[in-house]
Structure 1
Amino acid sequence: MTDGHSAPAPDAAPATAGDHTAAPVPADVRAHGDHHTQSQPHGLKEQDSAERLTPRPTFMEHLATSRDSQFHLDRQDSSELDRYFHGPRDMDKHSKWPIFLRMHGSVTPKMILPMLWVAGWSTAVTLISAKVHDLSISNILLTVLGFVVGLALSFRSSTAYERWADGRKYWSQLIQTSRNLARTIWINTGEREGDLGKEDLLRKISAMNLILSFAVALKHKLRFEPDIAYEDLAGLAGHLDTFARDAHDRNIINPKAKTLWKSAGEYLGVSFAESNPRKLIKRSKKPIGHLPLEILNHLSAYVDSIVANGTLVSTLHQGQASKKKKNTDPIYKPGQNANQMTVTMLAVFNEVLTGTERVLDTPLPTAYSIAIAQISWIYVLVLPFQLYASLRWVTIPASMVAAYIILGLATIGSEIENPFGQDVNDLPLEVYCRQIALELDVITATPRPNVEDFMTRADNLVLFPLSQNGYDEWKDRSVEDIRGALRAKVVASPTALGSDASTVVASISTQPKQSV
């Protein structure tokens, strides 16, 4: 697995929850490529398997031959200029340039062509007014139209940022829930004796991979990347029986290189050069399904299996992991606050999935977008006529400055409206997935902590910083001594909790009956 989380080897796929031998499948069903059928192990060969599911080793072999060509994933073969103007931004890098001089993340490249157009337009108006006929008009429109443009840009910016903030909120919720579910699986799910314990351990690791694969699959879905053989996803979910696996297309993983004119057009924000973001989905020859939801189904099946085999015995943890039930308190009434519901982790995964899809699929209505763009351009084009009477030749640079401000704000709103893309200002989804992978590795790096091991250690300074004595010393004292020391932590002044803190406790412990 990429992003720091180790995936099982291709030839040793771990047993999954609810795994059982599949029944033979009729030939007519196999011929139609039913994605629910997988009657043969991966190692068997069939000559008539063109419509069958692609075995997992094929994905790994594919990655070995196409890793360098995944331009849209890691951009290893892209130029420095491409990495500079594309994103998302690397949060680990720090720039010492003053913020008003920075280009990384700026919309200046997309403003070049509009600024050239405004410069030519304002120059033409100024020349005609100075040499042929005065075209100047009253500048009263500056106030009237300026107010309208301000309202339009404010609305555009606020709605776009709200979508960006909602996207970040959902991914924060995903990270938090991944931590909670991983801890429940790793710590609160037991392991049986003997070979069953080894099987339980491998299934727990596989469940951890499913948690990460949900986040990675969600990232690709939000970027309209429908395949399963991406480098960071194939090792995690390539063994699952999913629609995306059946619809795997090598051409989707290896897109054609962009021409110079197309790349330049995208840098400059030319709308004619931009591709349909859903083109990979539209080109799919088979149903691509809903990979994050299908992964969630497999994860839910695993949770049901550990409840059934008795390794997850706590009803509290069972409810947290999978079920969503109403509060049974008699004072509960329908329609009360949502906090009256026990919303659990798999349900939260589904809420994150639905919420991010809402952000992605519900942009600002087209009528608003068109009207705001038209209002902004009308104001910019009328501006030279209003400025010429007062500024004369300064009308040209003044119009360009005003256009940069107005059109720049409109461009920013358009860029951050979809926070899940590849722009510099979009959310760094790769960073979030790597964070989840690293934290899952941290959780699984050690077995479940034994309470006796870490609670009774001699270096457990139970009353730090008041006392430097360890657990063993305090275990030999009376309950009155311990409670008196706890009170001393509150009563003692901050200066008493310095280097002489142990002296304070020592004096208390020598007089156990004395009131502290």
Structure 2
Amino acid sequence: MFIDTVQPPIQEANAMASSEFAGSTTATMSTGSPSVNVSREATWKAQGFHASSRKPQPHHLEMEDYFAGPRDMARHSKLPFFMRLHGSVLPKMLLPLLFIGGWATAITTISKFTRVHLGINSLLLTVLGFVVGLALSFRSSTAYERYNDGRKYWSQLMLTSRNLARLIWVHVEERHSVSEELGKQDLLAKLSALNLLNAFAVALKHRLRFEPAIEYPDLEPLVAHLDLMAGTADQAALRKRKPTPWKSAGEYLGVSFAESNPRKLIKRANDNLGNPPLEILTYLSSYMEHVFQEKTMTGPIHQTWAMNNIGSLADVLTGTERVLNTPLPIAYTISISQITWAYVLVLPFQLYNYLHWVTIPGTMLAAYIILGLSKIGTEIENPFGNDVNDLPLDDYCRELAADIDVMTSTPPPRVEDWAHASNNRVLHPLSATGFQGWEHRSLEDIREALRAKATTTVRSIHAERPDTPFAEPKGSTV
């Protein structure tokens, strides 16, 4: 009976959504530029974007996905950590390791088959090893500090958005008692404001990834009705071009000459792209001003809390931009890179006197450890990108949207609906009597029961209270 009752509205809603989508598609194609829309959709799909922002698209983990990110936190591997490839920097280490292996082979071969002896005293190994250890420690600590700051700011975004969403949904009045139309307008305005919270998170994600367009499938439905500066720019010029196979392979292997400037799209734009997250906060502030003027949020403490939450979102925007735009000073980066490479290149000369042919694998192993730690520091220095170990911002945005959907799935709760319920066992585990049962008892009985509840010991959650005057007989209900 329940399924028969609920299913038709669901089918009707799906049919309405399908018809709306078909109508919008037909309208778009009737403008005379269907090829542009088809190419745009193909471009988004090629770049990994999907129309749905509520749940990740299911897919099998292909070989190239092992080194593309961010990593899907829902996936679980039973392999030991030392055997895992997903999340490893191994692909970007292949070319450096091959070069180091060739270098160590050349040094060993010359020393073995010629009269030129290239082995040196290992004292230099000890001195340089201490310096390299300090450099790598500094590089790792500063990189993880930035990674941790990025996660803290995004946690603050989630916390503030949930608080503000709950504040709007519960404490902004819907004036259904005045008129049905006015009540519907208030409800739809609340939903529009809550969508702005989703839009802020998604717009911030794209801004931190240097993706300045508005027509991304997870962003456009949320901001199409807003007059954003980036929306007036030429969107075609803001689309990423498909890289050539050679360029893709170079980026995959960590070749610096193949890496593009992440700000290329922003530099290439001739229009002022504005700051979409900040502009969205302006619209959110205008909504709060509207409810203040309409007196649908009258509590001063609620008004202050709402504006403080908007200010907190602005703090998140500024903080994440600080993490993104103030990396480790380039002098430190260059110096640390030079120190580590100098150490690795000198290593075969110091190992040959003791290891001979084992110098080759020994040098490659040391290079993997030293250069690998340096490469990890470089990767996590910007926690908002698309590397495997970067923060899964798409998952965070979907989680926030899902939380708001759950909140709005039912009307704002009223105390009489849940507190007065018969199965509300207000004195559990002392008594199984519900709210209505205790409502008919005297105030002295309630106080005495509370005293008994405080003085009665329960050793575990599964243990029953000892027999008391307030305990209900087993099987009884109120």
Matched with 2:41 is: 67
Distance 1:78 1:69 in 2: 21
Displacement after TM superposition at 1:317 (Å): 0.6
Partner AA of 1:126 in structure 2 = T
> What is the TM-score normalised by the length of structure 2?
0.87
Q: Which of 265, 271, 296 is 2:250 aligned to?
A: 265
Residues 216 and 233 of structure 1 are in contact (CA less than 8 Å); yes or no, is this contact kept in structure 2? yes
Matched with 1:120 is: 102
Aligned: 1:198 with 2:173: no
Matched with 2:216 is: 230
Matched with 1:439 is: 403
Partner AA of 2:302 in structure 1 = H
How big is each residue's C-alpha offset from its partner over 1:362-394, in whole Å with a ceiling of 9 and x where there is no partner?
Answer: 000000000000000000000111111111111
Q: Which of 260, 270, 274 is 1:289 aligned to?
A: 274
Structure 1 residues 65, 462: closer, same or farther in 2, change over 3 A? farther
Displacement after TM superposition at 1:498 (Å): 5.8
Aligned: 1:244 with 2:219: no
How many residues are paired up? 438
Structure 1 residues 246, 165: closer, same or farther in 2, change over 3 A? same
Gaps of 5+ in 1: 1-5, 13-53, 323-343, 510-516
Q: Which of 126, 138, 143 is 1:160 aligned to?
A: 143
Gaps of 5+ in 2: 1-13, 21-27, 51-56, 474-478
Matched with 1:215 is: 201
Q: Which of 188, 192, 195 is 2:171 aligned to?
A: 188
How big is each residue's C-alpha offset from its partner over 1:307-353, in whole Å with a ceiling of 9 and x where there is no partner?
Answer: 0100010100100011xxxxxxxxxxxxxxxxxxxxx1001000000
Structure 1 residues 281, 78: closer, same or farther in 2, change over 3 A? farther
Displacement after TM superposition at 1:74 (Å): 2.7
Displacement after TM superposition at 1:128 (Å): 1.1
Residues 457 and 465 of structure 2 are in contact (CA less than 8 Å); yes or no, is this contact kept in structure 1? no
How big is each residue's C-alpha offset from its partner over 1:260-303, in whole Å with a ceiling of 9 and x where there is no partner?
Answer: 11111111100001111011111112110110000000100110
Distance 1:424 1:497 in 2: 42
Partner AA of 1:184 in structure 2 = L
Structure 1 residues 489, 245: closer, same or farther in 2, change over 3 A? same
Q: Which of 425, 449, 470 is 2:434 aligned to?
A: 470
Residues 119 and 351 of structure 2 are in contact (CA less than 8 Å); yes or no, is this contact kept in structure 1? yes
Distance 2:125 2:71 in 1: 37
Displacement after TM superposition at 1:360 (Å): 0.2
Q: Secondary structure at the match of 2:124?
A: helix
Displacement after TM superposition at 1:100 (Å): 0.5
Give the superposed CA RMSD: 2.7
Q: Secondary structure at the match of 1:494?
A: coil
How big is each residue's C-alpha offset from its partner over 1:201-231, in whole Å with a ceiling of 9 and x where there is no partner?
Answer: 1110100110100000000000000011100
Distance 1:398 1:382 in 2: 13
Structure 1 stretches of 4+ moved >4 Å: 8-12, 57-65, 75-79, 495-500
How big is each residue's C-alpha offset from its partner over 1:451-509, in whole Å with a ceiling of 9 and x where there is no partner?
Answer: 11111111110011121110111111222221222222221122598665384243799
How big is each residue's C-alpha offset from its partner over 1:427-473, in whole Å with a ceiling of 9 and x where there is no partner?
Answer: 00000000010001011111111111111111110011121110111
Structure 1 residues 59, 362: closer, same or farther in 2, change over 3 A? farther
- Further displaced range: 94-103 or 429-438: 94-103
Distance 1:232 1:130 in 2: 62
Q: Which of 63, 75, 81 is 1:99 aligned to?
A: 81
Distance 1:269 1:391 in 2: 31
Distance 1:496 1:242 in 2: 57
Q: Which of 319, 323, 335 is 2:304 aligned to?
A: 319
Q: Which of 348, 356, 367 is 2:331 aligned to?
A: 367
Residues 59 and 234 of structure 1 are in contact (CA less than 8 Å); yes or no, is this contact kept in structure 2? no
Displacement after TM superposition at 1:10 (Å): 13
How big is each residue's C-alpha offset from its partner over 1:233-258, in whole Å with a ceiling of 9 and x where there is no partner?
Answer: 000011111111001412433x3322
Q: Secondary structure at the match of 2:468?
A: helix
Residues 380 and 402 of structure 1 are in contact (CA less than 8 Å); yes or no, is this contact kept in structure 2? yes
Residues 142 and 328 of structure 2 are in contact (CA less than 8 Å); yes or no, is this contact kept in structure 1? yes
Matched with 1:309 is: 294
Distance 1:61 1:451 in 2: 55
Distance 1:496 1:281 in 2: 60
Distance 1:409 1:231 in 2: 36
Aligned: 1:350 with 2:333: no
Residues 432 and 472 of structure 2 are in contact (CA less than 8 Å); yes or no, is this contact kept in structure 1? no
Matched with 2:66 is: 84
> What is the TM-score normalised by the length of structure 1?
0.80
Matched with 2:10 is: none
Residues 467 and 505 of structure 1 are in contact (CA less than 8 Å); yes or no, is this contact kept in structure 2? no
Matched with 1:146 is: 129
Structure 1 residues 196, 61: closer, same or farther in 2, change over 3 A? farther
Structure 1 residues 404, 183: closer, same or farther in 2, change over 3 A? same
Distance 1:319 1:161 in 2: 35
Distance 1:402 1:210 in 2: 51
- Further displaced range: 77-86 or 151-160: 77-86
Report which of the two has the higher share of helix: 2
Identity value in percent: 55
Displacement after TM superposition at 1:415 (Å): 0.5
Distance 1:120 1:291 in 2: 50
Residues 119 and 400 of structure 1 are in contact (CA less than 8 Å); yes or no, is this contact kept in structure 2? yes
Structure 1 residues 113, 507: closer, same or farther in 2, change over 3 A? closer
Structure 1 residues 207, 163: closer, same or farther in 2, change over 3 A? same
Structure 1 residues 460, 60: closer, same or farther in 2, change over 3 A? farther
